[in-house]
Amino acid sequence: MNGKQILKAVAVVATVALCTAGARGMTVNWSAIDQNLITSPGGTVGAPVGGLIEIGKFSVSDATLLANQDSPLTLQADFSAFATGLMGQGSEDGTHLSGYPGVFTEASIAVGTAFLNAPIYLMVFNTSSAATATQVGIFKGGDWVFPALETGTATLDTDTIGTTPVVGAYSTGTFASSEWTAGANALQMHQVIPEPSTITLVGLGLIGAVGLARRRRS
């Protein structure tokens, strides 16, 4: 499933609330909970506990992000993180504590003006770093924007027109858990298809050259 395969859905991942408080900087509460969770490709299993989650802004266009969807390190290099966390952190609803795949609850704070009025993106990896990730998702909402002023406030919800998986898709499967089900409310990540590394290509070239030399000798 790639980023172009987007199905119609509404309530998607989470509610993200933003506020500012003087010198304390901008505070962000962000989460993926219960039926509005994040899944692995296929939409039947929650994203792995311990996977890196980040919110922030990108320096490139959505088209560029989609073009680089098979290179997690490239995606992260173009990303400025407001806050980071791990999948499975926090209490989902006060009853289900940390350690559940596909869900998380984070409260983050950052000082400064670097993110003012910038579109907000949520990026998710299936491992603790982009360097080892084999699945990635990048999601944004139609009204996901950091406040324009340090004293401003905004409440952002993925249950809005314009919520879009930039890399990944909406899930149409059922989350495989005895605790809850997902259906179309989940966002699913993209399965990374690695390109052959330069070393591999050089190695294949050398093998071919050796084979050609042997043929010429015979």
Tell me: the pLDDT tens digits for 183-199? 656 788 999 987 665 44
Q: Name the 3-class secondary structure at 190.
A: strand
Using only C-alpha atoms, the chain has a radius of gyration, in whole angstroms, of 20
Q: pLDDT category, 29, cuts 50, 70, 90?
A: confident
Per-residue pLDDT of 57-70, as tens digits, reads 999 999 999 999 99
Cβ neighbors of 58 (< 8 A, separation 6 or more) are 65, 78, 79, 80, 119, 121
Among 5-9, 78-82, 204-208, whose mean pLDDT is lowest?
A: 5-9
Q: What are the backbone dihedrals phi and psi of residue 174, each rounded to the nearest 5 degrees, phi first?
A: -115, 125
Mean pLDDT of the chain: 75
Residues 6+ apart with CB under 8 A from 50: 86, 87, 88, 127, 128
Asked if residue 137 lies in contact with residue 164, where contact means CB atoms within 8 angstroms, the answer is: no
Strand partners, 32: 104
Under 8 Å CB-to-CB from 213, ≥6 apart: which residues? none
What DSSP character marks residue 210?
A: H
CA gap 42, 39 in Å, rounded: 8
What's residue 27's pLDDT? 75
**Beta-strand runs (E) in the chain:** 15-20, 26-32, 38-39, 52-58, 79-86, 104-110, 119-125, 135-145, 154-157, 164-167, 169-170, 187-188, 190-191
How far are the Cα atoms of 115, 196, 200, 210, 216 from residue 206, in angstroms, in the given order?
48, 15, 10, 6, 15
Q: DSSP letters along 9-40, please?
A: -SS-S-EEEEEE-GGG-EEEEEEEBTTB-EE-
Comparing 88 with 93, which gets the higher pLDDT?
Answer: 88
- Say what the pLDDT of residue 198 is: 44
